[in-house]
C-alpha cells in the first residue's frame, strides 16, 4: 500500500517531505540537477549522492532521466537525515532503485562494504560550505530551523570537507580501476576563486555553472 506523506517542499517540480533533521532544498541547487541530466548520455554508470539529506538530488535525477541507471546510492553521516531520505524514496517509489547507506562521505565504498559494478561514476555532493560562525551572511530563519551540521563545517578554507571528498575519489578510482568519475558540487557565493585554484592545482578539469541569481554555484569536476 502506498503511504501518503505530507508535502511541504517542492524541488525540481517534485514534492518532498522535510523537517528539522535535514537541509531544506534550495532552488539554486536545481542547477545541479539540470547539469547532471545533461551529463547522462547512457545508463552504464553508478550514481552516488554524498550527504544526501532529504534525498532531493538523487530522487530528482532518477525521476527525470530517460536512462535506466545501473545503480544509485544516497549516503549520509546522519541517521536522522537517512530517515527523512527513506520517507522520500518511498514517496517516489524509488526504494528498490536508491540504496540508502550511513557513511562518512565515501567510506562505505572505500571499506569495500559495497562494490561498484560499473566503470563510470557520477557523484553529487552538497556538503556544508559555510565557514564556522559566519552568521553575517545567514538568514535568521535558516539558523533557527535547519541543522547546523548541514550548514557549517569549515575552520580555515571552508573547503575542507570537499578536499577530503576529492581525496577519497582519487582513492576510489584506484581501488576499482574506474575509467571516468564526474563530480558535481555546490559552493557558497564567494568561493569560486579558492575552489578554482585548489582544483586546478590537482590538474582536474572543471566547469562552473551559475544559479538563478547569476552566481557561480555548481562546479563540474572531471577525474
The full set of domain ranges for the chain reads 9-222
Q: Which fold has domain 9-222?
A: Rossmann fold (3.40.50)
The SS3 call for residue 67 is coil
Q: In whole angstroms, how far apart are CA 64 and each of 13, 59, 67, 92?
A: 10, 9, 9, 12
Q: What is the mean pLDDT of the chain?
A: 88
Instruction: Say which residue the cell 531544506 belongs to.
Output: 24
For 138-178, write each residue's pLDDT tens digit: 444 444 444 444 445 556 667 888 999 999 999 999 999 99
d(CA 173, CA 71): 17
On the question of pLDDT at 116 being above 60, the answer is yes
pTM: 0.88
Report the percent of the chain where pLDDT is more than 70: 85
d(CA 181, CA 184): 10
d(CA 3, CA 17): 12
For 195-222, write each residue's pLDDT tens digit: 999 999 999 999 999 998 999 999 999 9
Bridge partners, residue 76, by sequence: 102
On the question of pLDDT at 34 being above 60, the answer is yes
Q: What is the DSSP string of 162-199?
A: HHHHHHHHHHHHHHHT-SEEEEEEE--TT-HHHHHHHH
pLDDT band at 186 (very low <50, low <70, confident <90, very high): very high
d(CA 204, CA 207): 10
d(CA 73, CA 57): 11
Q: What is the DSSP string of 110-150?
A: HTTSS---SSEEEEEE----EETT--TTS-HHHHHHS-GGG
Cβ neighbours of 40 (radius 10 Å): 17
With beta carbons less than 8 A apart as the criterion, state whether 161 and 127 touch: yes
* Strand 180-186 with 120-125, pairing: parallel
Bridge partners, residue 221, by sequence: 183, 206
Q: When comparing pLDDT for 43 and 39, which is higher?
A: 39
Amino acid at each position: 500500500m502506498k503511504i501518503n506523506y505530507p508535502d511541504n517542499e517542492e524541488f525540481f517540480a517534485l514534492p518532498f517531505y522535510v523537517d528539522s533533521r535535514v537541509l531544506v532544498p534550495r532552488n539554486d541547487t536545481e542547477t545541479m540537477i539540470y547539469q547532471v541530466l545533461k551529463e547522462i548520455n547512457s545508463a552504464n554508470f553508478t550514481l552516488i549522492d554524498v550527504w544526501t539529506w532529504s534525498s532531493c538530488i538523487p530522487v530528482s535525477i532518477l525521476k527525470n532521466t530517460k536512462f535506466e541507471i545501473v545503480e544509485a546510492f544516497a549516503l549520509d553521516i546522519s541517521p536522522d537525515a537517512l530517515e527523512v531520505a527513506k520517507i522520500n524514496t518511498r514517496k517516489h517509489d524509488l526504494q528498490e532503485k536508491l540504496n540508502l547507506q550511513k557513511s562518512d562521505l565515501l567510506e562505505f565504498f572505500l571499506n569495500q562494504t559495497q562494490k561498484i559494478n560499473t566503470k563510470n561514476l557520477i557523484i553529487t555532493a552538497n556538503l556544508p560550505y559555510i565557514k564556522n560562525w559566519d552568521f553575517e551572511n545567514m538568514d535568521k530563519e535558516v539558523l533557527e530551523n535547519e541543522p547546523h551540521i548541514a550548514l557549517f563545517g569549515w575552520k580555515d578554507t571552508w573547503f575542507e570537507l570537499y578536499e577530503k571528498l576529492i581525496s577519497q575519489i582519487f582513492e576510489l578510482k584506484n581501488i576499482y580501476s574506474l575509467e571516468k568519475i564526474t563530480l558535481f558540487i555546490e559552493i557558497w557565493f564567494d568561493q569560486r576563486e579558492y575552489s578554482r585554484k585548489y582544483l586546478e592545482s590537482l590538474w582536474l578539469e572543471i566547469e562552473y555553472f551559475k544559479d538563478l541569481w547569476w552566481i557561480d554555484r555548481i562546479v563540474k569536476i572531471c577525474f
